[in-house]
Amino acid sequence: MASNILPNNEHVVERVLRVGLGAGLLSLVVAGPQTMWGFIGLVPLLTGLVGSCPLYTLFGISTCRKKATR
């Protein structure tokens, strides 16, 4: 059931980039200009950790490789 709600639709490289971008944006809250806009980094951080992007699901996009069927 969880795979219907949060299907895995992100490639591993994209997940790593999302986590890095999210952590970088989130660091703006603590260091740098110390602005609350850094909390936007929670979105790519969480989607990268979970491996599922709700917008990808909505539009039917997947960056994962297709699994070979035998």
48 burial level (CB within 10 Å; 0-12, 13-18, 19+)? buried
With a cut of 70, list the residues of the chain below it in pLDDT.
Answer: 1, 67-70
Q: Which two tokens stand for residue 14?
A: 């994209």
- φ, ψ of residue 8 to 5 degrees: the values are -75, 105
Please report the pLDDT score of residue 32 as a whole number: 85
Q: Please give the Cα distance from 13 to 11 (Å, whole number).
A: 6
C-alpha separations of 54 from 10, 38, 59, 61 in Å = 11, 21, 9, 10
Q: What are the structural domain ranges in the chain?
A: 2-59
Please report the pLDDT score of residue 5 as a whole number: 83
